[in-house]
């Protein structure tokens, strides 16, 4: 027999054809990758799958019993249709076969098996067309059946049957038999997890856990295996994150000290307001950490409008005081432009002249860009604000001491890394207005420690939020526009946000596509779009003579600047936009935020959008328009947003409502990058505990010299790109 290790290819064991199919469907090439493909659930030969809630359009595998079979001559086509009904004892599901009369011979009433296919509805009834299936051998008819006692029959019916994530080309039993071949051929596995940790945590040895997750004899087998593998997964992840953090901390950075009576003090003295308590507290931590030879790595989270930008600017001044430079990375041009302008304004003419801040975006005229690049390379500019353009190879710094990443969740770790590489261990301050629950912080952002601002600057008038169900309350919907006209008449401004740019267009922001369409059974209904909304509002009598403009990500950057400028200056009354304005846009005179088809947006997005109003002396009003019906998930989500304005509460709700894949972004697709059994939504305790265990181990033995297998595994993990994928959420 062939003997394989976890890193062997599987073609020799499972055959070239199956190996190819597995690679194509799941990017599975090695034994490890195959064994990592764990069952989605377990069925029993004696227990049938409930048939009444099968999702239409999806590939399913069900365990069921054949009820009956009949044949029908087709009227329009020439041929015979065999229809076999299978049952779970309550409901039925039809299996249809065209011109395969022999199927009725195999599918005799009473036989049981696993049936796989795509569920579709025909004349209101669910069916699988030409399904694949595998019948269970009836224990009564097995050779020597007369010897089978009752206990053996019971074991047969109660043995869990693994049901794998499968496709039409690679059904679950193909995966199951491939896994069994590999398990039989597998050489003993080296277990990376130290024996003392296994003992202390009650964790199964790796080989046993893998065996039991794929070949359980009873439910308790796979349950224990899952528990062990979940812990291992959390442990591997935390160990990798912690090890990386240690590496960064070992690195020497340059201490950036602020002297009293220097730039930072001068700036603080000139501020027209005083810092909030939280701004001050957070500022002190940052000041102390940058005044040290260990690079700072901090994630600053704080509500929209809590004044994070000011905190960042003060950090930049501290670096500038030492002669160093800072780079602030923003996710959109609009935001980069706005940060740049507000930094220039906050600095005032003297400090601006001294520090020479520059803006760098992708669409700048060549001459301007060249000037900016030159002043960064020579060190005459101490502050750079920009988009992804900052990451380009052509950008170099004289002495980059601090990188600030605004709206951190819009960037991946590798982008932060690219910018970091442009300096000698610069300090890092990542910022987010999307509060991050602790488990996510530990998982996706495990190498950044958080700082939090909860307090808003004084004098904020607050924001009221209402859901406007257009179908149920058409008069309230009409009131939305009347109220807007009133606010505009008293000098305020209004945002209207739509999910799409053009009729029939896709959501501009992939995040804005409703994740619930499939569940609620509504195929893509048309979405409110910017272009039609502008035309429609312009045609309304109450908006006659008002300036109504569109802003979308598809526009040229100078056009975007112009439109944004017109709105900031107050000349434009209504700005109709996509989520380009989601993050950070600051126009304190705006008082109403109207979101059309609000159900197309996620909880945090809506919270962000709402944060665009109520930023000044005027109270904010946020109106979430929707045609989603009561009781749907989509409606639940926007009602949650209306019910609370606490971003931290919303972040938890978001975590409950969103699906795992949405939270961890792209990680679900192949490449060995995804979390397998661990669920950040449910396994917070395991993650936190695994972190403690990993930390204790690393503290005692930073180089893992006592644990060579673990060290090797850690290196492999680091190279796999899994961490990078994970954090891009």
Backbone angles phi, psi at 691, to 5 degrees: -65, -45
For Mg ion (CB under 5 A), the number of binding residues is 2
Q: From the list 302, 401, 499, 505, which residue makes contact with ligand ADP (rule: CB under 6 A)?
A: 302
Backbone angles phi, psi at 115, to 5 degrees: -120, 135
Minimum Å distance from CB 308 to Mg ion? 5
Residue 283 in contact with ligand ADP, rule: CB under 6 A: no
What Rg do the C-alpha atoms of the chain give, in angstroms? 30
**Do 282 and 310 touch, CB atoms closer than 8 A?**
no
**Site map (CB under 6 A) of ligand ADP, residues 581-600, x = contact:** ---x-x--------------
β-pair type (400-405, 427-432): parallel
Nearer to ligand ADP by C-beta: 607 or 707? 607
Minimum Å distance from CB 619 to ligand ADP? 16
Residue 485 CB burial class (10 angstroms; 0-12, 13-18, ≥19): middle
Minimum Å distance from CB 465 to ligand ADP? 18
Residue 135 in contact with ligand ADP, rule: CB under 6 A: no
Minimum Å distance from CB 339 to ligand ADP? 8
Minimal CB distance residue for Mg ion: 584
Nearest-5° Cα angle at 508, 633 to 635: 15
**Do 618 and 492 touch, CB atoms closer than 8 A?**
yes
Q: Which stretch binds Mg ion (CB under 5 A): 212-220, 281-289, 512-520, 580-588?
A: 580-588
Tokens 């739509």: give the residue.
498
Q: Who's near 411: CB < 8 A, 6+ residues apart? A: 329, 331, 405, 728
Q: Which stretch binds Mg ion (CB under 5 A): 18-26, 37-45, 584-592, 718-726?
A: 584-592
Nearer to ligand ADP by C-beta: 176 or 279? 279
Residue 627 touches which member of Mg ion, ligand ADP, none, C-beta under 5-8 Å by kind = none
Minimum Å distance from CB 447 to ligand ADP? 23
Distance between CA atoms of 452 and 443, rounded to whole angstroms? 18
Residue 433 in contact with ligand ADP, rule: CB under 6 A: yes
CA neighbor of 359 nearest in space, from 417, 556, 342: 342
Nearer to ligand ADP by C-beta: 321 or 407? 407
Minimum Å distance from CB 376 to Mg ion? 23
Nearer to ligand ADP by C-beta: 590 or 675? 590
**Residues numbered 303-332 forming contacts with ligand ADP, rule: CB under 6 A:** 304-310
**Site map (CB under 6 A) of ligand ADP, residues 443-462, x = contact:** --------------x-----
Nearer to ligand ADP by C-beta: 309 or 729? 309
Residue 306 touches which member of Mg ion, ligand ADP, none, C-beta under 5-8 Å by kind = ligand ADP
- Token couple for 270: 């000139």
Distance between CA atoms of 248 and 242, rounded to whole angstroms? 10
Residue 102 touches which member of Mg ion, ligand ADP, none, C-beta under 5-8 Å by kind = none
Residue 620 in contact with ligand ADP, rule: CB under 6 A: no
Nearer to ligand ADP by C-beta: 302 or 469? 302
For ligand ADP (CB under 6 A), the number of binding residues is 16
Nearer to ligand ADP by C-beta: 33 or 303? 303
Helix axes 647-657, 633-643, angle to 10 degrees: 170
The H-or-E segment that residue 653 falls in is helix 647-657
Question: What is the distance in angstroms between the CA of the first residue and the CA of the last residue of the chain?
Answer: 44
Q: Which stretch binds Mg ion (CB under 5 A): 195-203, 306-314, 454-462, 684-692?
A: 306-314
Q: Which stretch binds Mg ion (CB under 5 A): 158-166, 305-313, 593-601, 604-612?
A: 305-313
Tokens 């209402």: give the residue.
466
Backbone angles phi, psi at 384, to 5 degrees: -120, 135
| DSSP character at residue 119 | E
Nearer to Mg ion by C-beta: 49 or 309? 309
Residue 276 touches which member of Mg ion, ligand ADP, none, C-beta under 5-8 Å by kind = ligand ADP
**Residues numbered 240-279 forming contacts with ligand ADP, rule: CB under 6 A:** 273, 275-276, 279
Q: Which stretch binds Mg ion (CB under 5 A): 12-20, 72-80, 582-590, 638-646?
A: 582-590
Nearer to ligand ADP by C-beta: 28 or 433? 433
Nearer to Mg ion by C-beta: 406 or 683? 406
Residue 584 in contact with Mg ion, rule: CB under 5 A: yes
Tokens 């272009």: give the residue.
531
Tokens 């029908």: give the residue.
72
Q: Name the CA dihedral angle for 635, 641, 644, 650, rounded to a multiple of 10 degrees.
A: 110
Distance between CA atoms of 461 and 616, rounded to whole angstroms? 7
- Token couple for 153: 């029959």
| DSSP character at residue 395 | -
> How many other β-carbons are positioned within 10 Å of the β-carbon of residue 459?
8
**Do 423 and 400 touch, CB atoms closer than 8 A?**
yes
Q: Which stretch binds Mg ion (CB under 5 A): 274-282, 447-455, 576-584, 688-696?
A: 576-584
Minimum Å distance from CB 456 to ligand ADP? 8
**Do 488 and 546 touch, CB atoms closer than 8 A?**
yes
Helix axes 219-250, 708-719, angle to 10 degrees: 80
Minimum Å distance from CB 302 to ligand ADP? 5
List residues binding Mg ion (CB under 5 A): 309, 584
List residues binding ligand ADP (CB under 6 A): 273, 275-276, 279, 302, 304-310, 433, 457, 584, 586
């Amino acid at each position: 027999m062939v003997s394989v290790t976890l890193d062997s290819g599987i073609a020799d064991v499972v055959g070239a054809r199956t190996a190819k199919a597995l690679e194509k469907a799941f990017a599975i090439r090695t034994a490890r990758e195959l064994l990592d493909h764990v069952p989605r659930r377990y069925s029993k030969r004696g227990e049938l799958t409930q048939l009444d809630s099968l999702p239409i359009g999806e590939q399913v595998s069900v365990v069921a019993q054949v009820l009956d079979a009949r044949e029908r001559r087709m009227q329009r086509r020439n041929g015979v249709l065999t229809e076999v009904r299978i049952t779970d004892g309550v409901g039925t599901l039809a299996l249809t076969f065209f011109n395969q009369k022999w199927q009725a011979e195999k599918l005799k009433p009473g036989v049981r098996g696993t049936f796989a296919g795509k569920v579709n509805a025909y004349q209101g009834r669910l069916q699988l067309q030409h399904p694949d299936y595998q019948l269970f051998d009836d224990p009564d008819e097995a050779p020597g059946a007369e010897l089978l006692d009752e206990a053996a029959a019971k074991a047969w019916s109660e043995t869990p049957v693994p049901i794998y994530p499968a496709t039409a080309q690679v059904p679950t039993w193909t995966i199951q038999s491939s896994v069994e071949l590999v398990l039989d051929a597998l050489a003993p596995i080296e277990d990376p997890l130290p024996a003392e940790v296994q003992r202390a945590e009650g964790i199964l040895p790796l080989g046993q856990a893998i065996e039991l997750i794929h070949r359980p004899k009873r439910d308790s087998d796979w349950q224990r295996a899952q528990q062990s593998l979940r812990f291992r997964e959390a442990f591997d992840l935390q160990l990798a994150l912690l090890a990386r953090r240690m590496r960064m901390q070992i690195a020497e950075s340059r201490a950036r000290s602020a002297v009293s009576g220097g730039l930072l003090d001068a700036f603080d003295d000139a501020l027209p307001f005083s810092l909030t308590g939280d701004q001050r507290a957070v500022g002190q931590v940052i000041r102390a950490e940058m005044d040290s030879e260990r690079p700072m790595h901090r994630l600053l989270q704080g509500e929209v409008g809590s004044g994070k930008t000011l905190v960042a600017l003060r950090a930049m001044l501290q670096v500038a005081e030492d002669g160093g430079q800072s780079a602030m990375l923003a996710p959109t041009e609009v935001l980069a432009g706005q940060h740049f302008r507000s930094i220039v304004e906050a600095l005032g003419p003297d400090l601006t002249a001294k520090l020479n801040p520059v803006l760098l975006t992708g669409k700048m005229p060549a001459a301007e860009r060249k000037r900016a690049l030159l002043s960064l390379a020579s060190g005459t500019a101490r502050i750079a604000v920009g988009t992804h353009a900052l990451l380009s190879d052509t950008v170099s710094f004289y002495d980059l001491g601090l990188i600030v990443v605004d709206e951190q969740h819009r960037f991946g770790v590798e982008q932060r890394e690219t910018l970091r590489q442009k300096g000698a261990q610069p300090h890092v301050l990542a910022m987010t207005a999307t509060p991050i629950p602790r488990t996510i912080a530990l998982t996706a952002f495990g190498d950044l420690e958080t700082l939090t601002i909860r307090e808003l600057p004084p004098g904020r008038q607050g924001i009221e939020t209402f859901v406007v169900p257009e179908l149920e309350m058409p008069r309230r919907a009409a009131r939305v526009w009347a109220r807007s006209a009133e606010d505009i008449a008293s000098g305020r401004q209004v945002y209207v946000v739509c999910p799409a740019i053009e009729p029939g267009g896709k959501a501009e922001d992939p995040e804005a596509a409703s994740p619930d369409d499939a569940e609620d059974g509504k195929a893509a209904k048309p979405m409110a779009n910017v272009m039609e909304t502008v035309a429609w509002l312009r045609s309304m009598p109450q908006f006659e003579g008002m300036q109504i403009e569109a802003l979308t990500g598809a526009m040229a950057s100078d056009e975007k600047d112009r439109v944004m400028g017109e709105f900031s200056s107050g000349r434009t009354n209504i700005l109709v936009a996509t989520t380009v304005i989601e993050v950070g846009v600051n126009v304190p005179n705006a008082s109403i935020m109207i979101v059309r088809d609000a159900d197309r947006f996620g909880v945090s997005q809506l919270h962000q959008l709402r944060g665009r109003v109520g930023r000044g002396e005027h109270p904010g009003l946020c109106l979430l328009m929707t045609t989603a019906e009561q009781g749907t998930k989509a409606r639940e989500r926007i009602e949650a947003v209306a019910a609370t304005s606490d971003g931290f509460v919303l972040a938890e709700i978001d975590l409950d409502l969103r699906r795992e894949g949405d939270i961890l972004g792209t990680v679900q697709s192949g490449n060995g990058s995804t979390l397998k059994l661990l669920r950040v939504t449910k396994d917070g305790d395991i993650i936190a505990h695994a972190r403690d265990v990993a930390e204790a181990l690393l503290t005692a033995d930073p180089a893992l010299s006592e644990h060579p297998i673990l060290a090797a595994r850690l290196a492999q993990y680091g190279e796999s790109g899994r961490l990078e994928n994970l954090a891009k959420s």
